[in-house]
A and B are shown apart, each in its own frame.
Chain A
Amino acid sequence: MARNKEKLVLLLDVGPSMHGVLSEVEKLCSMLVEKKLIFSKYDELGVVVFGTEESNNDLTTEVGGYQNITVLQDIKVVDGDLVDTLQKLPRGTVDGDFLDAIVVGMDMLIKKYKDLHKGKKRLCLITNAIHPIKDPFEGSKEDQVMTIAEQMAAQGMKIESIVVRGRFSRDANKGVMDENDHLLSIFSKKTHTRTVYVDTPTSLLGALKTRRVTPVTVFRGHLELSPQMKIKVWVYKKTQEEKFPTLKKYSEKAPASNKLATHQVKVSYEYKSVDGSSNSVIPPEQRIKGYRYGPQVVPISTAEWDAVKFKPEKGIKVLGFTDASKIKRHCYMKDVYLFIAEPGNTRATLAVSAIARAMKEMNAVAILRCVWRQGQQNIVVGVLTPNISQNDKIPDSFYFNVLPFAEDVREYQFPSFNSFPASWQPNDQQQKAADELVQMLDLAPSGKEALLPEFTPNPVLERFYRHLELKAKQPDAAVPPLDETLKKIIEPDPELVAENKSVFDALHRHFELKQNPKLKKSSRQWYQEKQSGSNAHVSGGQAVNSIENQPPVKIEKIGDLTPVQDFEAMMSQRDNPEWVEKAIKELREKILALLIHPDGEDKYQKAVECVAALRKGCIIEQEPGPYNDLMHRIRQYCEEKGIKSLPQLLASRDLTLISKSEAEDSNVTAEEARSFFVKMEPKPDV
């Protein structure tokens, strides 16, 4: 792969107006090198910073000018030192000139490689481009950029610009920005360019593809509309998940003195008879594959399979066009393919363009049957959608996704929402609160889309590579928590939430959630474990301080909404023994209040739940007194008022006195406890 080595020069603006995002630039660039160290070890890289107090570059020594530009690192094969260099970029003191920096970068590439390695040389500029560039000695800025761009094209260089704007450039001069944007756009007319604008630190982290993947076609051949009409196309992957790296297993068996130890682990498989009749190992060639068919297993050798297998011919055929609405978005089965006309084939490009644009106009999609390669043993049926290019340089193309076969769909039936009881249906106010939320918690206000997948880094991979780098220096380093920038991907943006406080308040006002009191204990436990699951898990590694590991909120008072939960939470607060006393006292009061003012339709349901919780709590704490007192009071109250249903409810759930067998301090015998409610003699109902 040597000839695929990339030669990259980073041009980083470190001027004062960039200081706010430099830590993200450091993370982004070091991630780039970290991945190169693993996936493209032979790539070469140089680093230029501009906006520095000093000037240190070839051009300033040779021809003068090119001030405030420092070559931090000459082009060299990537190594660990580069990561260190990029992790502590200097903070500059002057507003830099990005065009000068581009020239310095080009000069480095030209001096090092002459006109070799065309298409493998790349410049990557990160700047906010809010400061004017210097006027040239002769001609306009535009002419100057044009000349540079032509030279770049002639040398086979590419340039990628990441322009950091948004919140970071609020006070900037719009005229200057427009001029700079225009100048940068000239590059794209002359040479291979990618310019992206980002407006949050999070999207800056996602702005640069940190891993270079050589594009490989999935298919080259005809897209067959009919036997007469075929278009030459190439098919690539448009999306493909970058996986978590597969780590190798490490053996610690070799003695430390063995310097040549590989520490590799070999995984070996042995096949033995299931019934254990003989413990002998069956050699691999004696095995045969068996496939289940109902209760039977049918043995079939590979050779037999090969002979009878389904073997379709390679090719892509249109089965028909249909209305786009027929294909639901959630039917897409896989990552996405890209269909482009054969490069350089003008007619094919025109044909693709015509079909794509016609499809767009008609709101149509095509259904395709694809066999990507000869020898493939299955068929893919999927949907082709038009991708109309917004860029004059880029031809129209198609996207393709795989659709399910009949066997892949489970048509479960779900109750219609209308069939639910009225209490489950949102009322007008609730609906209004939801409407507000859906409209106001807006991630795409006026074209400024947040969390755009194109610019959103994968927080798990970011975390892994950062941890890898950390561990290389400090082998026992703990897994770092997600930093603030990455938290924006996994949690709602605090600013957006704060702006919409009234919306959230309304939501809380109109919707009430409670744990199902009728739920059996086992499943409730599941729920509670689930809620606290993260804490339990993390306790293994004490150094770990993940974002989930926040201490639970302290309960200071038993509320009306979830008294049982509040009670349980308060009882478990161990920092002060007074909590237990307070919890028992407060819940007792709550129960008495509930008796006098029964809550809702279930009448005493909530009170009974509280009694149950109190009983359990008092047994755990071996404090039978307060509970037994309360029970006597309840009995008295019910007798006076002639309430029958409550004692019945309590008796049916065995919520009687706490006996001596349950708590040592109790002076109630088991027999007394059992007959506590039986002895009741309520007055006749009034």
Chain B
Amino acid sequence: MGLDPEDVFKDEEDDPDNEFFQQSESSKEYVVYLVDASPKMFNTTCPGNDQKDETHFHTSVSCIAGSLKTQIISRSYDEVAICFFNTREKKNLQDLNGVFVFNVAEREHLDRPTARLIKEFDCIEESFMREIGSQYGIVPGSRENSLYNALWVAQALLRKGSIKTADKRILLFTNEDDPFGSLQDAAKKDMTRTTLQRAKDAQDLGISIELLPLSRPDSEFNVSTFYADLIGLDGEDLAQFMPSASQKLEDMKDQLRKRMFTKRVVRRIEFHIANGLSIALNTYALIRPTVPGAITWLDSVTNHPLKTERSLICEDTGALIQEPPKLFQPYRNENVKFLPEEIAEIKRISPGKLRLLGFKPLSCLKDYYNLRPSTFVYPSDQEVVGSTCIFIALHRSMLKHKRFAVAYYGASSHPQLVALVAQDEITSAGAQMEPPGMHMIYLPYSDDIRDDEEIFPDTEEDAPRADEDQIQKAAALIKRIYVKDFSAFQFANPALQRHYAVLQALALAEDDIPETIDETAPDEEGLTRPAVVKAAEAFKLSVYGDSYDEESDMGKEKMSEASRKRKAIAENAAKDYDWGNLADKGQVRVEEFNSRRFESLLKCPQPSC
């Protein structure tokens, strides 16, 4: 079995050791979620996901719950605290009124998220009124200022760690754009001033405060009333901050998700444009397959983690090999030996440099020129002043002339010819959908491209081509199943979600594994609508005539000699998989499985690392 992790998400060609897929774990993030729990948050509703109205409080809480679940998987070393304000009860180290820090056992207030935190927070709404309670904290005649208190508590929570090693943030959820609106002039002025000062103090300590405002469809959250000053917005930023009043809650969730990630530079590279003209770029991995976390091997008796010791043993003598061994390739009846450094030297071509070779029209970038996920590049003036200026100029020209750059990227482990495709900034409702910059697309070489579409036509006849009527019928069918608002990454990965759900159930000692929804399942209902069925039948008739059902037989008769041979080869190859058996096994297992086995499993102590 070796060291190989679960190969669920591993494809044959994915190399886990490849630095390409690895990310640096440079800085941590500390986040305090500050949630307004005033009655207004409970009274105001908005149409939610399934058109049912949901309260702003619910929206905020479910946003945070979702983020926590993502975070525990993807960035579990970051630390969070959850804090409500405008509460009836109080719970905080400063003993301030109207502020309640939510926490669970075995966890500091600001700490890594745990299974228990997620589980209990998931059902916070059930117990909220009973245990925490909602109550306006800023009322005329009182000197209490729950917003001020909340910021103070949050700032105190974030006292931990240095801003050099951690990114500290307060994410504030509220639907009250004028928190001191109910107060008389003098009191209002005074509280506004002290609250802004409080926020400024926090910001001076390197804490950023971000606002997630909730609007009603009929009345928009007005940032400029108060919060613009608090979070330091002005001019254009202010105008861009609040998207249109019809902003959907979904967008807000998206925004939160976006804000959950801090940027991490993968690598700095030098982009060599001409002799003596090299600019500095940072590269970022914006899209990479997410895989379930690494496996930690445990001793099944004690549940203690195990370490792996690798040793190299000479097969001839049984001796242990200490020094890094030479490598060899059998060739011409002998073993040609290489030193590891020689292999590195062979691969070393323009190390660390991206060299511009020229430009081509975008139409030259064929759909099949792709090998791996792309890498995003963005200029930096940090080392070389003037880099950004050249980059912007090239970026504009490439967009204007619809051209991409071809360059040679001398990555140490994997030098490669790449295409640099300029991407213009795209914003929607104030949020950046596509950042401005260039995407580096890894191009194949001649030996990476196959021409399998050319293997079959060994008849003298031309290949069958659809006629105009068939194309029109196909177009009609396509129109029936056309999706207008498709986003390339709208689906959650069902296998990953299942994986997390199982982990969560085991970690939380739940009896049932939570249901996960496979968002990728086709819209069966939609596809059986009469209009779709009609279009499908019409297309079928135009291509297959009346004999669609006999299609498979027709195929066999016509199968060429070559394809019969190929089939034999493929069947041979397929012997590796025992498909039927695998499927059966899976079925049986599910039924056999019962929760008692889970219970016995969970009795083992779970080591924490």
B350 contacts chain A at the CB level, 8 A cutoff = yes
Pairs A–B under 8 Å by Cβ, sample size 30: A215-B450, A239-B449, A247-B343, A249-B325, A269-B3, A271-B306, A293-B72, A293-B115, A294-B114, A295-B609, A299-B303, A299-B601, A322-B486, A328-B434, A330-B441, A332-B441, A343-B456, A344-B558, A347-B548, A350-B464, A358-B471, A395-B453, A403-B489, A408-B489, A413-B432, A414-B435, A504-B274, A513-B384, A516-B384, A534-B348
B205 contacts chain A at the CB level, 8 A cutoff = no
Question: Which residues from chain B contact A225 at a C-beta distance below 8 Å?
Answer: 477, 481, 536
Whether A401 and B495, one on each chain, are in contact in the complex, defined by CB atoms closer than 8 angstroms, is no
B52-60, B169-177, B188-196, B284-292 - the one binding chain A: B284-292
Contact flags A276-288 to B (C-beta < 8 A → 1, else 0):
0000001010111
Whether B385 and A374, one on each chain, are in contact in the complex, defined by CB atoms closer than 8 angstroms, is no
Which one of A228, A266, A306, A330 contacts B312 once the chains associate, using CB atoms below 8 Å? A266
Whether B394 and A434, one on each chain, are in contact in the complex, defined by CB atoms closer than 8 angstroms, is yes
A112 contacts chain B at the CB level, 8 A cutoff = no
Whether A399 and B356, one on each chain, are in contact in the complex, defined by CB atoms closer than 8 angstroms, is no
Contact flags B396-433 to A (C-beta < 8 A → 1, else 0):
11101101011010100001010001010100000010
Closest to B72 in A: A294
A642 contacts chain B at the CB level, 8 A cutoff = no
Question: Which residues from chain A contact B284 at a C-beta distance below 8 Å?
Answer: 410, 412
CB distance from A578 to the nearest CB of B (A): 26
A652 contacts chain B at the CB level, 8 A cutoff = no
Whether B464 and A349, one on each chain, are in contact in the complex, defined by CB atoms closer than 8 angstroms, is yes
Which one of B289, B401, B606 contacts A299 once the chains associate, using CB atoms below 8 Å? B606
Whether A381 and B464, one on each chain, are in contact in the complex, defined by CB atoms closer than 8 angstroms, is no
Whether B294 and A292, one on each chain, are in contact in the complex, defined by CB atoms closer than 8 angstroms, is yes
A485 contacts chain B at the CB level, 8 A cutoff = no
Task: Report how far A394 CA is from B316 CA in the complex, Å.
Answer: 54
Task: Report how far A253 CA is from B536 CA in the complex, Å.
Answer: 70
| Extra pairs beyond A307-B589, A321-B483, A345-B555 (13, CB < 8 Å) | A206-B445, A273-B306, A310-B498, A319-B523, A358-B471, A414-B378, A420-B388, A456-B443, A468-B331, A471-B337, A491-B357, A493-B357, A524-B383
Whether B452 and A215, one on each chain, are in contact in the complex, defined by CB atoms closer than 8 angstroms, is yes
Question: Which residues from chain A contact B292 at a C-beta distance below 8 Å?
Answer: 291
B279 contacts chain A at the CB level, 8 A cutoff = yes
A121-129, A130-138, A539-547, A629-637 - the one binding chain B: A539-547
Question: Which residues from chain B contact A330 at a C-beta distance below 8 Å?
Answer: 287, 374, 376, 421, 423, 439, 441
Whether B337 and A453, one on each chain, are in contact in the complex, defined by CB atoms closer than 8 angstroms, is no
Closest to B290 in A: A407
Which one of A306, A351, A458 contacts B589 once the chains associate, using CB atoms below 8 Å? A306
A385-393, A588-596, A668-676 - the one binding chain B: A385-393
Number of A-B residue pairs having CB atoms within 8 Å of each other in the complex: 779
Task: Report how far A514 CA is from B387 CA in the complex, Å.
Answer: 9
Task: Report how far A269 CA is from B1 CA in the complex, Å.
Answer: 10
Known: A250-B337, A321-B482, A453-B444. A119 touches B562 (CB 8 A): yes
Task: Report how far A299 CA is from B306 CA in the complex, Å.
Answer: 12
CB distance from A495 to the nearest CB of B (A): 11
B29-37, B123-131, B359-367 - the one binding chain A: B359-367
Whether A253 and B444, one on each chain, are in contact in the complex, defined by CB atoms closer than 8 angstroms, is no
B25 contacts chain A at the CB level, 8 A cutoff = no
Closest to B487 in A: A326
Known: A357-B466, A417-B395. A410 touches B277 (CB 8 A): no
Contact flags A474-496 to B (C-beta < 8 A → 1, else 0):
01000100100000011111001
A585 contacts chain B at the CB level, 8 A cutoff = no
Task: Report how far A544 CA is from B349 CA in the complex, Å.
Answer: 13
Most chain A CB within 10 A, of B299, B307, B454, B462, is at B299
Question: Which residues from chain A contact B301 at a C-beta distance below 8 Å?
Answer: 286
Whether A450 and B498, one on each chain, are in contact in the complex, defined by CB atoms closer than 8 angstroms, is no
Question: Which residues from chain A contact B470 at a C-beta distance below 8 Å?
Answer: 350-351, 353-354
B93-101, B138-146, B217-225, B255-263 - the one binding chain A: B255-263
Task: Report how far A177 CA is from B346 CA in the complex, Å.
Answer: 40
Whether A228 and B536, one on each chain, are in contact in the complex, defined by CB atoms closer than 8 angstroms, is yes
Task: Report how far A523 CA is from B380 CA in the complex, Å.
Answer: 13
Task: Report how far A604 CA is from B342 CA in the complex, Å.
Answer: 49
Which one of B261, B352, B583, B592 contacts A374 once the chains associate, using CB atoms below 8 Å? B583
Closest to A317 in B: B522
Question: Which residues from chain B contact A319 at a C-beta distance below 8 Å?
Answer: 483, 520, 522-523
Question: Which residues from chain B contact A441 at a C-beta distance below 8 Å?
Answer: 356, 358-359
Known: A269-B2, A290-B297. A351 touches B315 (CB 8 A): no
A616 contacts chain B at the CB level, 8 A cutoff = no
A646 contacts chain B at the CB level, 8 A cutoff = no
Task: Report how far A642 CA is from B531 CA in the complex, Å.
Answer: 89
Question: Which residues from chain A contact B49 at a C-beta distance below 8 Å?
Answer: none
Question: Which residues from chain A contact B543 at a C-beta distance below 8 Å?
Answer: 347, 350-351, 354
Whether B347 and A408, one on each chain, are in contact in the complex, defined by CB atoms closer than 8 angstroms, is no
Whether A309 and B408, one on each chain, are in contact in the complex, defined by CB atoms closer than 8 angstroms, is no
Task: Report how far A531 CA is from B491 CA in the complex, Å.
Answer: 43
Give residues 347-385 of A contacting B (CB, 8 Å): 347-351, 353-355, 357-359, 361-362, 364, 367, 369, 373-375, 377-379, 381, 383, 385
Contact flags A288-324 to B (C-beta < 8 A → 1, else 0):
1111111111111100111111111000011111110
A620 contacts chain B at the CB level, 8 A cutoff = no
Whether A266 and B313, one on each chain, are in contact in the complex, defined by CB atoms closer than 8 angstroms, is yes
Whether B351 and A534, one on each chain, are in contact in the complex, defined by CB atoms closer than 8 angstroms, is yes
Question: Which residues from chain A contact B337 at a C-beta distance below 8 Å?
Answer: 250, 471, 475
CB distance from B453 to the nearest CB of A (A): 5
Closest to B278 in A: A513
Whether B342 and A254, one on each chain, are in contact in the complex, defined by CB atoms closer than 8 angstroms, is no
A502 contacts chain B at the CB level, 8 A cutoff = no
A238 contacts chain B at the CB level, 8 A cutoff = yes
Question: Which residues from chain B contact A496 at a C-beta distance below 8 Å?
Answer: 358
CB distance from A48 to the nearest CB of B (A): 24
Whether B522 and A410, one on each chain, are in contact in the complex, defined by CB atoms closer than 8 angstroms, is no
Whether A438 and B300, one on each chain, are in contact in the complex, defined by CB atoms closer than 8 angstroms, is no
Question: Which residues from chain B contact A453 at a C-beta distance below 8 Å?
Answer: 366, 369, 417, 443-446, 448-449
Contact flags B328-346 to A (C-beta < 8 A → 1, else 0):
1111111111100111011
Whether A458 and B445, one on each chain, are in contact in the complex, defined by CB atoms closer than 8 angstroms, is yes
Give residues 223-242 of A contacting B (CB, 8 Å): 225-229, 232, 236-242
Whether A471 and B383, one on each chain, are in contact in the complex, defined by CB atoms closer than 8 angstroms, is no
CB distance from B188 to the nearest CB of A (A): 34
Whether B351 and A245, one on each chain, are in contact in the complex, defined by CB atoms closer than 8 angstroms, is no
Most chain B CB within 10 A, of A209, A377, A513, is at A513
Which one of B262, B317, B406, B471 contacts A357 once the chains associate, using CB atoms below 8 Å? B471
Give residues 563-618 of A contacting B (CB, 8 Å): none
Whether B316 and A262, one on each chain, are in contact in the complex, defined by CB atoms closer than 8 angstroms, is yes
Which one of B70, B356, B398, B466 contacts A354 once the chains associate, using CB atoms below 8 Å? B466
Contact flags A513-537 to B (C-beta < 8 A → 1, else 0):
1111001000110010011011001
Contact flags B534-552 to A (C-beta < 8 A → 1, else 0):
0011011011100110011
Whether B436 and A417, one on each chain, are in contact in the complex, defined by CB atoms closer than 8 angstroms, is yes
Whether B298 and A299, one on each chain, are in contact in the complex, defined by CB atoms closer than 8 angstroms, is yes
Task: Report how far A153 CA is from B457 CA in the complex, Å.
Answer: 12
Question: Which 7 residue pairs of A and B lie closest in terms of their CB atoms, listed nearest first?
Answer: A354-B466, A434-B393, A330-B439, A206-B446, A426-B393, A414-B435, A247-B327
B105 contacts chain A at the CB level, 8 A cutoff = no
Whether A250 and B328, one on each chain, are in contact in the complex, defined by CB atoms closer than 8 angstroms, is yes
CB distance from B186 to the nearest CB of A (A): 39
Whether B608 and A378, one on each chain, are in contact in the complex, defined by CB atoms closer than 8 angstroms, is no
CB distance from A138 to the nearest CB of B (A): 25
Question: Which residues from chain B contact A241 at a C-beta distance below 8 Å?
Answer: 13, 371, 444, 448
Contact flags A51-76 to B (C-beta < 8 A → 1, else 0):
00000000000000000000000000
Closest to B2 in A: A269
CB distance from B557 to the nearest CB of A (A): 8
Whether B300 and A444, one on each chain, are in contact in the complex, defined by CB atoms closer than 8 angstroms, is no
Whether B345 and A479, one on each chain, are in contact in the complex, defined by CB atoms closer than 8 angstroms, is yes
B252 contacts chain A at the CB level, 8 A cutoff = no
Task: Report how far A214 CA is from B572 CA in the complex, Å.
Answer: 13
CB distance from A617 to the nearest CB of B (A): 22
